[in-house]
Amino acid sequence: MVERLKTESTSGPLIRNISDTALWVAVYRARETERPDALFRDPLARKLAGERGEQIARSMQFGERHAWSYVARTWLVDRIVAEQVRQGTDMVVNLAAGLDTRPYRMDLPHSLRWIEVDLPGMIDYKDQVLSGEKAACELTRVRLDLSNLNARRELFAELGRSATKVLVLSEGLIIYLTRDEVGTLARDLAAQPSFQNWVLDLVSPGLLKMLQKNLGAPLSAAGSPLKFGPEEGPEFFLPYGWKPAEVHSLLKAAARLNRLSFGMRLAALLPQSNGRQGSRPWGAMCLLTRR
Ligand X SMILES: C[S@@+](CC[C@H](N)C(=O)[O-])C[C@H]1O[C@@H](n2cnc3c(N)ncnc32)[C@H](O)[C@@H]1O
Helix and strand numbers, DSSP H then E, in the chain: 12, 7
CB of 23 to ligand X, least distance (A): 9
- 152 CB-side CA count, 13 A: 23
Distance CA 83, CA 285 (A): 15
Closer to ligand X by Cβ: residue 32 or 118: 118
Radius of gyration of the chain (CA): 18
CB of 2 to ligand X, least distance (A): 8
Residue 100 binds to ligand X (criterion: CB under 6 A) = yes
Residue 118 binds to ligand X (criterion: CB under 6 A) = yes
Are β-strands 242-249 and 138-143 bridged in parallel, bridged antiparallel, or unpaired? unpaired
**Amino acid code (one letter) for 176:** Y
Single residue of 122, 200, 203, 207 touching ligand X by CB under 6 A: 122
Find the binding residues for ligand X in span 154-213 (CB under 6 A): 171-173
Find the binding residues for ligand X in span 130-159 (CB under 6 A): 145-147
Are β-strands 195-203 and 283-290 bridged in parallel, bridged antiparallel, or unpaired? antiparallel
Site string for ligand X, 232-271 (x = CB under 6 A): ----------------------------------------
| CA dihedral angle for residue 154, residue 23, residue 107, residue 291, rounded to 10 degrees | -40
Closer to ligand X by Cβ: residue 127 or 275: 127
Residue 220 binds to ligand X (criterion: CB under 6 A) = no
CB 24 within 8 A of CB 55: no
Residue 97 binds to ligand X (criterion: CB under 6 A) = yes
Residue 32 binds to ligand X (criterion: CB under 6 A) = no
CB 223 within 8 A of CB 17: yes
Single residue of 81, 119, 168, 285 touching ligand X by CB under 6 A: 119
Query: How would you label 170-182 residue by residue, b for 16+ Cβ within 10 Å and e otherwise?
Result: bbbbbbbbeeebb
Find the binding residues for ligand X in span 2-31 (CB under 6 A): 18-19, 21-22, 25
Q: If you ran DSSP here, which 8-state letter would residue 26 be given? A: H
Closer to ligand X by Cβ: residue 128 or 279: 128
Closer to ligand X by Cβ: residue 184 or 272: 184
Closer to ligand X by Cβ: residue 76 or 146: 146
What does the binding site for ligand X look like in residue numbers (CB under 6 A)?
18-19, 21-22, 25, 96-100, 118-119, 122, 145-147, 171-173
